[in-house]
Chains A and B, each alone.
Chain A
Amino acid sequence: MFPSRSNDRLLWILRGSAAISGIVVLFILLYLVLGAWPALRNLGLSRFFFDEGWHPTEDVYNLSPMLLGTLAVSFGAVALATPLGIGAAVFCNSYAPAPVASLYRGMIALMAGIPSVIYGFWGLVTFVPLVARFVPHGQNLFAGCVILALMILPTIALIADASIARASKEYQQSSAALGLDRWRTLRRVVIPAAGSGITAGIFLAAARAIGETMAVIMVTGNVVRVPDELFQPTRTLTANIALEMAYAMGDHRSALFVSGLALFVMTLVLTIVAQFFGKVRSHV
C-alpha cells in the first residue's frame, strides 16, 4: 500500500510540474500574440517584410534585416563553435590523460557558467578594439559571431563529450579487438555512433545563440542592416527588443512584440528539428 501511495503522489507532483511548465509557455505565447496583435492589425504582416527600413518613429517597420541578422550571427557562431567543441570533446575522451581530461572538463563547465554580460563586456573592451585595428569599425557581424561562439562552445563540447563517452564505452573494445587504430575507431565508429547526440547539442547551442541578447548588443554594432558583409554591423531581433522596448509606445511597442513572436517561431522550428534528430537516434 505504501509504495503505491507514494508512487501516486509522485505521479501527481510530476503531472503538476509538467502542467506548470507547459502552461507557462502557452501564456508567454498568448502574451506575445496579444502584444503583437495591434501592429499586425494596423500595419499588416507584409509591411514587416517590405517597408523601406526600420524607423518606427517615422512609421516604417521592416523586420527582415534583423531576422537575417539573427540568422547570420547564430549561424556564424555555430559554424565556429562546432569544430572547436567536437575537437575538445574528442581530445577529452581519446587523447588526454585522465587528470588533464578532468581538469579540462572542469574548465569548460566553468566557461558555461560565465554570464553572457561578462562575455559581452570583455568583447566590447578587449576584442572589439582588437578587431578595430584591422577594419575601420570594430563592432560588427564578425565580432558578434566570435563572442557568441565562445558562449555556446561549452554547450556543444559538453554534450559531444557525453555522447562520445557513451559510444566509446559501447564500441571501443570491440573495435580494438578488430585491430582498428585510435583514429579510425574515432572516425568510423565512435563519432558516427555519437552523431545524433552531437547534432542535438549543436541545435541546443544554436537555440541559445538565437536567444542571446546582452553579449550581442555590446559587440555587433546594432545598426539595422542586411548582414551582407562580415565586417559591417548588424542587429539581431533580441537586440532590437532590448534596445527599444523601454521607450517604445503604440505601434512601435507592438512591432517589438512582433519581433518577439518571430523569435519564438524561429526557436520553435529549431526545437522541432532538434527533436527530429533525437527521434532518429532512438530508432537506431
Chain B
Amino acid sequence: MPHLCSRDFIRPLLLLVLAFAVSACSRSGSEERRTLVLTGSSTVAPLASEIGKRFESLHPGVRIDVQTGGSSRGINDARQGLAGLGMVSRALGEKEKDLKAYTVARDGVALIVHGDNPINSLSDTEVVSIYQGKIGNWKTVGGMDAAITVVNKAEGRSTLELFLHYFKMKNSEVRPHVVIGDNEQGIKTVSTTKNAIAYVSIGAAEYAVTHGLPIKLLPIAGIPATLATVAEGTFPISRPLNFVSLSEPKGLAKEFIDFARSEAVHDIVRSQYFVPITEQ
C-alpha cells in the first residue's frame, strides 16, 4: 500500500515540474519582443521603473528592464553599450561630455522645522554647526531655549548624499539624535517634535504642508524651498535626474526618453516626490 500512496504524491509533483519546464520553454521562444535595458542610479531607478510600467502598458510587446548599481554604473554601461540607457542622478561632469544627458525630473532637498518654531531661516554655517553638534540649543540661533533634535537620514539615501554634498560635510561628522529612513518618517518626526530639524525631499515636504501638517520649509541661501525654484534650477540643493546615452538615441530608446519627458508621466514624477521638468 505505501508505494501506491507515494505514487499518488509524486504524480502532481511531476506535473508541476512539467508545467514549469513548458512555461520556461515558451518564454525563451518569444524573444522577438523589444527590450530596453536601463542601469544606474538607485534614485532614478524607482521612477524609471514606474514610467517603464506605464510605457509597457501602452506598447504591448515592449519590455523596460530597470537595474540599479549607482550613477557610475549608469555612466559606464552607457559608454560601453551594456545598457540601452544609463541613469544618472546628477549633472554630467567635465569628463563625461562624451555622453548626452536627458533630464526627466529634478530632485530637491529642503530643511524642515516644526510649524511652531519661531526660526524662519538659518545660514549655511549655522546649519553645519547644528548638524555637527557645535550648536545644541535653538537659543544660539535666535530661537527658543530648547535642545535641538537633529534628524539625519540613513546611510546610502540620495537625500543624505545631496545634503552632505551641498554643506560639504562627511556623514561621520554629523551628530544626529534621530536617524530616519524615508521622507514620511522625517516629516512625522518633525511634526511631532517641536525642537527638531530635518531635511527631506521638497516634493514630500510641500505635500505634507498642503495637507495641514505643522512643518515649515526653510529657505537655503535666501532662496525659498518650493517646487517652482527647484524646477527653475535656482534652488541650491537640487539636482537633475538624467537618462544618458553615448550616441543620439534612436528607436525604442528615443521613444522612451520622449515619453519620460512628456506630461503623460508628471503624475508619476510627483508621486515619487520629484519635480517634473517644465520646459521641453
Please, how many residues of chain B have a CB less than 8 angstroms from a CB on the other chain?
Answer: 33
Q: How far is the CA of A16 from the CA of B68 in the complex (A)?
A: 38
Interface segment, one of A26-34, A81-89, A93-101, A247-255: A247-255
Check B267 for interface membership: any CB of A closer than 8 A. Answer: no
Known A-B contacts A137-B177, A222-B179, A223-B179; A125 and B192 likewise in contact (beta carbons under 8 Å): yes
Q: Say whether A124 contacts B69, CB under 8 Å.
A: no
Interface pair B192/A124, CB less than 8 Å apart? yes
Q: B149 — which chain A residues lie within 8 A by C-beta?
A: 132, 136-138
Count how many pairs of residues, one from A and one from B, have CB atoms less than 8 Å apart in the complex: 99
Question: Which residue of A is nearest B2, CB measured?
Answer: A8
Q: Flag if A128 contacts B5 (CB, 8 Å).
A: no
A62 → B minimal CB distance (Å): 12
Out of B1, B147, B154, B155, name the residue touching A8 (CB < 8 Å): B1
Q: How large is the interface on A (under 10, 10 to 19, 20 to 34, 35 or more residues)?
A: 35 or more
Residue among A52, A132, A218, A235 with most chain B CB within 10 A: A132
A138 to B151, CA, bound (A): 12
B265 at the interface (CB under 8 A from A): no
| A and B contact pairs by CB, cutoff 8 A, 30 listed | A1-B1, A9-B5, A12-B5, A12-B9, A57-B156, A58-B170, A58-B172, A124-B188, A125-B188, A129-B192, A136-B147, A137-B177, A138-B193, A139-B178, A217-B181, A218-B185, A222-B178, A222-B180, A223-B179, A243-B155, A243-B180, A244-B155, A244-B156, A246-B181, A247-B154, A249-B42, A249-B68, A249-B69, A249-B156, A252-B156
Residues of A within 8 A of B (CB): 1, 4-5, 8-9, 12, 16, 52-58, 60, 124-125, 128-129, 132, 136-139, 217-218, 221-224, 233, 235, 242-244, 246-249, 252
Interface residues of B (CB under 8 A from A): 1-2, 5-6, 8-9, 42, 68-70, 146-147, 149, 154-158, 170-172, 176-181, 185, 188-189, 192-193, 195
Q: What 8 A-B pairs are tightest by C-beta distance, nearest first? A: A247-B156, A136-B147, A243-B154, A222-B179, A137-B177, A243-B181, A221-B178, A55-B172
